[in-house]
Structure formats: C-alpha cells, structure tokens
Amino acid sequence: MLCWARTCRLHRGALSPSTPSFSRVPVARSSSNDQREGKPRPLPLSYRLLDGETTLPAIVILHGLFGSKNNFNSIAKALAQQTGRRVLTVDARNHGDSPHSPDASYKAMCQDLQNLLPQLGLAPCALIGHSMGGKTAMLLALQRPELVERLIAVDISPVKTTGTSKFATYVAAMKSIDIPDKMPLSQARKLADKQLSHVIQDLAMRQYLLTNLVEVDGHFQWRMNLDVLAEHLDEIMNFPPQQEPYSGPSLFLLGGSSHYVCPSHHPEIRRLFPGARIQTVPNANHWVHADRPQDFMAAVQSFLG
C-alpha cells in the first residue's frame, strides 16, 4: 500500500475560487448501531476541493474504475470557474491516493461519501459520477437522497454492465509488467506502455491506466489495489437491487458511440429515477468528458441551471 502524501488543510475563506484544498478527513469511528446494521467502516478518502460560493450546492465528481480524481482536473477547474460553485473531486477507496481495503462494494463506497460530504459541509450536492463512480452516485442518491440535490450519471445505468471481460485482461496485463527500479518515471511509463501494448491495443486506454503507475522508494507500482479490484470485478459491474426511487432531478449523459447503456436499460432508469432526462453526446465514447469536453460541460451547466 502506498504511503500517504502530505496533507494540507486550508480554511475556506483563505481560498480563491480556483484554489484547491487537498486533504483526507479522519476516519469516523463505527458506532455500535453501525456494527449491528452491518455498515462498512468509512475510509478517509483523498480529495481535492476547489472553493466557490457557499450558497450554491457544491459539485462532487466521482471517477470510474481504474481512475482517480486527477482524471477530472480540467473539468473541475472549468466548472468552478464557470459556475462559481465549490467543486470536489474524490479518489474512491482502492484508487488514487485513497486507502486500500478488502471491501470494494458499492455499499462501502457510499458509506465513505456519507462520512465525507457532511464533514466538508457539501451536502446536499450536485453529484456527478462516471461509470463505477456513476453507480456509486446512483446508489447514494437512492439510499441517502438528502445528500444529493441532483444527480448526473455519465454513460452508466443502474443495471449490470455486460461485455466487460476485458477488465480482467487489463488487470492481468498490469500485474505482469516488469519495470527495473530507479528508472526515470517517464521512461518507466514508456516501457510499461510497450509491455501493455501486447495485450491492450487501445492507446487511450493504456494512457489512462498508466496514470496510475507511480514510484515509491525507488520501486514502481500501481496506485490501485489490483488484487481487490480483480476479486470484486463482478460485483463492480453489477448494481445492488433497489426498490425506492430517487425523486430528485437526474441526468443520464450517454456517449453516442458507447455501448455501456442500451435502450433496454431505460425502463429501469425510469423506474428508479422517474425525473430522469436521458441525453446523448454525439461522437463520444465511454469517456464522454474526455472525448467531448465542451459538449459535456454544456450539458452539465444546462442541467445545473
């Protein structure tokens, strides 16, 4: 497990609208009620907070599988500047700079957010989640609607994601790379890219994965908890059964060239999110925000109002 980076907490009033605050919050102690109810113990997630107007709901962005808060740096800065809102990007457990845990369930990821958002004074928020982060966002909205003022699910739906056997291949490829110690990081990533290319032909996917390759004490390793993610892939691809709908505003923003959300998913979207608007971004694949950033921003800003 990686060592934590230096923590810096700044008072909100000392920040400009685009100044980030980096931190992890303390782990909340599990109460006896939590233990009886089987609630997962929340972890102190790594996050980046851009300051803004406190009278407006904050924007909270959750990344996808194998991602990190850094994937949304440009989008977060643009949203903070153009909306004047506070914008929070978060590393999910077992990703980025957040702690590792053997529990990779959506229930646990939601519990982390239920702990974090009130501590930062960001509830209720406008919650944006991509892929895995979208499923976490949907579950949080369904189970704790008072924390979510409105929801944006990016290219994902509340049903099982199919045709994703490639993810197990990605994990096996990442675990198999062999990088000599004490090599410059740029060279290490080039070598890792070459090794990954034998299995993963998609250059954009390799570049996405390689953002997780880091040097720790002269050794190269992945920031993600690959063993746990591999063990829980089926669970991550699924979505926990839910009965009660979320009545708040919701936007399902889909990639026009993506196959993650099919028309057959729409009835379940409508059942659980009766106020849902389903919108497609033309010529965008699964990473809508990266493929068509201007269209993504326009859709988000229009929905935020």
Question: In the predicted model, is pLDDT for residue 2 greater than 80?
Answer: no
Question: In the predicted model, is pLDDT for residue 163 greater than 50?
Answer: yes
Question: In the predicted model, is pLDDT for residue 26 greater than 80?
Answer: no
Compute the average pLDDT of residues 193-210.
Answer: 95
265 is catalytic: no
pTM of the model: 0.88
Residues of the chain with pLDDT > 70: what percent? Answer: 87
pLDDT number for residue 166: 87
pLDDT number for residue 14: 34
pLDDT number for residue 182: 83
130 is catalytic: no
131 is catalytic: yes
Among the options 74, 227, 234, 247, which is catalytic?
A: 227
Among the options 286, 289, 291, 295, which is catalytic?
A: 286
CB 258 within 8 Å of CB 232: no
Question: In the predicted model, is pLDDT for residue 197 greater than 90?
Answer: yes
Helix/strand/coil (H/E/C) assignment for every residue in the chain: CCCCCCCECCCHHHCCCCCEEEEECCCCCCCHHHHHHCCCCCCCCEEEEECCECCCCCEEEECCCCCCHHHHHHHHHHHHHHHCECEEEECCCCCCCCCCCCCCCHHHHHHHHHHHHHHCCCCCEEEEEECHHHHHHHHHHHHCHHHEEEEEEECCCCCCCCCCCHHHHHHHHHHHCCCCCCCCHHHHHHHHHHHHHCCCCCHHHHHHHHCCEEEECCEEEECCCHHHHHHCHHHHHCCCCCCCCCCCCEEEEEECCCCCCCHHHHHHHHHHCCCEEEEEECCCCCCHHHHCHHHHHHHHHHHHC
Over residues 245-262, the pLDDT tens digits come to 999 999 999 999 999 999
Question: In the predicted model, is pLDDT for residue 171 greater than 60?
Answer: yes
Among the options 101, 131, 157, 250, which is catalytic?
A: 131
Structure tokens at 87: 């914008």
